[in-house]
Structure 1
Amino acid sequence: MTPSRRSAPLLSRRALPLLLAPLAAPALARAGEAVVVKDLLGREVRLPRPARRIVLTQGRHLPALALIDPDPLSLIAGWSADLRQANAPEYAQLRAHAPGVDRIPIIGRGPVDTISFEGILGLQPDLVLLSRFTAGGPDGGLVRRLDAAGLPCAVIDFFADPLMDSEPSVAILGALIGRSEQAAAFNAYYRTKMDQVAARVGSVEPKLPILVHAHAGGTACCFSAGSGIFTSMVHAAGGRSIAEGVLTGQMGQLSLEYILSADPFAYVATGGPFGGARGGITMGTGATAPEARDGLARVIETTGLDNLSAVRAGRAHALWHGFNDTPAHYLAVEALARWLHPDRMQGITPDASLAELNDRFLSIKMQGTYWVDLR
């Protein structure tokens, strides 16, 4: 991560009032009012009224909708199958919540080259939501095609640079569906949570080294985050990733020899659905703490990471990999900060924050195991 990106959260707060100036009017929440907003690419998006038929080119944006709308599935005219294919437990929860979810038309599998432009046109949506990735790469190919066809589309994102993009993305989404007040309420809550952690650990020096072992056990040892994504969360938690500066991209492979020589202060594996079946760590919706802990122990033992002093000292943990693409990533920041600086984080717990998130905001609850300690 470059120095300019490290200051991203502060820069985004300064820029947010300018970005969202057109959103300030309470009239946007009224169903008949026109919407004018700039998306993450700086494109002006105009709707004659808040969107009610939305195509998601990334199904994983559904939880963001669930933060600010009481019935987000009712807004979806079609979507990518990435959520259905990659997260069976979460999709099963959706089916239990709304059996009609299986009838939502599929327009692709997630990667931009699988998205059917004709399928989107046939659904006649009043809004297409894209991520930076599904927008079509640097040239924005899918965006250009949608613009040429006269279909309103907007780019939001919670993956490429979550600490920079999440707040404006939630605000953009709120404006587009006529729920600016709800979006503002969540963003205020998010900022409070992030600022609480920053006040405790932001000035700590030196930053404690940490290994984030991504998709632990499901890939050869050891896949990690180089820039953005989890690395920015580690920074916010008062740490530094041992992959930073070693891996040139967002993700890459670290050798076991390098990891052992770096001897990080803490070890954090990430897991998700199908973790156990793939030799990884089962975490997320429906997962239990014992099965996540068992998976973590198995990964450490089978990879040779039990030689790390962090493991021997009890500083080995696991985190839900899905935090890499949701505005709820502040929960991961809290967990990381508690693992790195337990003495400074007294009174702040991700368990309490998750309960509050479910109670105050989410219409589709987060129910499962999202962080766990080896012991």
Structure 2
Amino acid sequence: MRIAPAARWLCVLGLTAGLIHAAQAAPQTVKDVLGRSVRVDLPAQRVLLGFYFEDYMAIGGEKAFDRVVGFSREAWEGWRPANWSLFAAHRPSLKELPDVGEVEAQTFSVEKVLALRPDVVVLAEWQYKGLGPDVKRLEDAGVPVVVVDYNLELPANHRASTLLLGKIAGDPTRAQKIADEYQAAIDQVRSRIAAAKQPKPRFYVEFGNKGPAEYSFSYGKGMWGPLGALAGGDNIATPFVEWYGPMNPEKVLAARPEVVFIAGTESTQNPTSMLMGQGVAPEQSAQRLQGFARRAGWSELPAVKNQRLYAVYQGASRSVLDYTMVQFMAKALYPTLFKDVDPQANYLGFYQRYLPVQAKGSFALEM
């Protein structure tokens, strides 16, 4: 078959562009958040994502997902269904991405990962630990594994993870900007609280997925625990919960928290669970939050007496944009210090600046 000169020229241009793009990738040795030295061709052309999907798209831009060859679908669609639907409606190709299984459910498949021939596998710190010897199987097969972390809520990890994802995605300038915005927000919260020299308010956080009838997870060293610490609070769960787990109701009552946060998602599986997130109306969130205020003994808590009961979006933790939740918690803990800060507007603004979809719903709510 003869190819017309114009078409032949287009083919040559396309091939040349592809070669130039491929030539941009070069082997580099990077350090991940665990201090591991990993040699990776960067920017990566075939990326396998275990977690932090929204962060990867924000940091690398939507174009970064053109080079994602597989992911752990349950950790996005299963855990944050409304958020997944929002992104999948905008980018239907997400639905066609191969699924390699999920670590916590023990369905993660090394064989499926290897079949996709990734240049790099990006795992959350908790996934890396959960996979154990399977990580070595990947590395023995010549697949670099890079570990990032937003779950431990360590500002140093947030910054390092953001910059590393920028290198992998090929947009270090954008990554630097996001990392600087995160750091500036955290520094502002810390400096104002330090200057005020006020006593640390006692706070309690609970994942409200089980509804008011049953106490669910509170948090120690991970997620909402350290987020509240960054916001200048004294976490009543610290002596009783190492990472996450329920507190004894009597201990919650005895600790008399001055501020209470109930975290929720968009899940409707439990008709009394705390509802927060994409597509959730504030009135619906407020109604669910009132259910927790009516728990046995809670009318005597300082937090409920003084109407300092708040709701937060579970999906807004363990992310580079969880600085907005630090701002919200700080404002709840120290109302006079952060009157000029609008955490929900900042959360929505992050979407407007860095993501191709717009968030709408309840992400931070007071009683």
Q: Which band: TM-score by shorter chain?
A: 0.7 to 0.9
Equivalent residues in 2 for 1:68-79 (5 A)? 68-71=59-62, 72-79=64-71
- What runs of 5+ residues in structure 1 fail to find an aligned partner? 1-29
Superposed, which structure 2 residues align to 1:191-210 within 5 Å?
191-202=183-194, 204-210=197-203
Change (3 A) 1:304 1:322: farther
1:156 matches 2:148: yes
1:116 to 88, 109, 115: 109
Question: Does residue 186 of structure 1 match 2:178?
Answer: yes
Select the residue among 66, 70, 88 that pairs with 2:57.
Answer: 66
Task: Give 1:304 shift.
Answer: 4.4
- State the partner residue of 1:329: 322
Query: Judging changes above 3 Å, is the alpha-carbon distance between structure 1 residues 222 and 308 closer, same or farther for their aligned structure 2 residues?
Result: farther
- Judged with a 3 Å threshold, the aligned counterparts in structure 2 of structure 1 residues 208 and 121 are, in CA distance, closer, same or farther, namely same
Larger radius of gyration between Structure 1 and Structure 2: 2
Alignment of 1:1-375 (within 5 A): 31-58=24-51, 61-71=52-62, 72-81=64-73, 82-111=75-104, 113-137=106-130, 140-202=132-194, 204-215=197-208, 217-218=210-211, 220-247=214-241, 249-275=242-268, 277-302=270-295, 304-374=297-367
Range with greater deviation from structure 2 (267-276 or 291-300): 267-276
Partner of residue 9, structure 1? none
RMSD: 2.3
Task: Give distance in 2, aligned partners of 1:196 and 1:136.
Answer: 33
Following the alignment from structure 1 to structure 2, what is the Cα–Cα distance between the partners of residues 110 and 303?
37
Q: Compute the displacement of 1:325 (Å).
A: 1.7
Do 2:48 and 2:120's aligned partners in 1 also have CA atoms closer than 8 Å?
A: yes
In 1, Cα distance between the equivalents of 2:199 and 2:187? 20
Amino acid at match of 1:125: P
Q: Give the direction of change, closer, same or farther, for the CA distance of 1:349–1:280 in structure 2 (3 Å limit).
A: same
After superposition, the C-alpha distances for 1:135-158 in whole angstroms (9 at most, x for unaligned) are: 144x84232111100012211111
Report the residue type matching 1:69 in the other structure.
Answer: G
Q: Is 1:31–1:178's contact at 8 Å kept on the other side of the alignment?
A: no
Identity %: 26
Query: What do the CA deviations read for 1:301-349 (whole angstroms, capped 9, x no partner)?
Result: 2454233231121111101112332111101110001111111112122
| Number of aligned residue pairs | 343
Q: Which 10-residue stretch deviates more, 213-222 or 192-201?
A: 213-222
* Cα pair 1:129 1:155 within 8 Å, conserved: yes
Q: 2:69–2:116: 8 Å Cα contact kept in structure 1?
A: yes
Partner SS, residue 221 of structure 1? coil
Q: What is the CA-CA distance between 1:216 and the residue it aligns to?
A: 5.1
Letter in 2 for 1:149: A
Q: Secondary structure at the match of 2:122?
A: strand
C-alpha separation in 1, matches of 2:147 and 2:56:
14
2:217/2:245 contact within 8 Å kept: yes
Structure 2 alignment gaps of length 5 or more: 1-22
Give the Cα–Cα distance (whole angstroms) in 2 for the partners of residues 90 and 43 of structure 1: 32
Counterpart residue identity of residue 141, structure 1? P
Which residue of structure 2 lines up, in the alignment, with residue 6 of structure 1? none
Change (3 A) 1:86 1:303: farther
CA 1:228/1:164 → structure 2, altered by over 3 Å: closer, same or farther? farther
SS at match of 1:210: strand
Given that 2:193 and 2:337 are in contact with CA atoms closer than 8 Å, whether structure 1 keeps it comes out as yes
Post-superposition CA distance 1:173-223 (Å, at most 9, x none): 111221111111111111111111111113534211011122354472253
Which amino acid counterpart does residue 73 of structure 1 have in structure 2?
F
**Counterpart AA for 2:97:** I
**TM-score of the superposed pair, with normalisation by structure 2:** 0.87
Match of 2:8 in 1: none
Give the 3-state SS of the residue equivalent to 1:317 in structure 2: strand
Three-state SS of the structure 1 residue aligned to 2:43 is: coil
State the alpha-carbon separation in 2 of the partners of residues 361 and 152 from structure 1. 27
**Which whole-Å CA distance do the structure 2 matches of 1:305 and 1:131 have between them?**
36
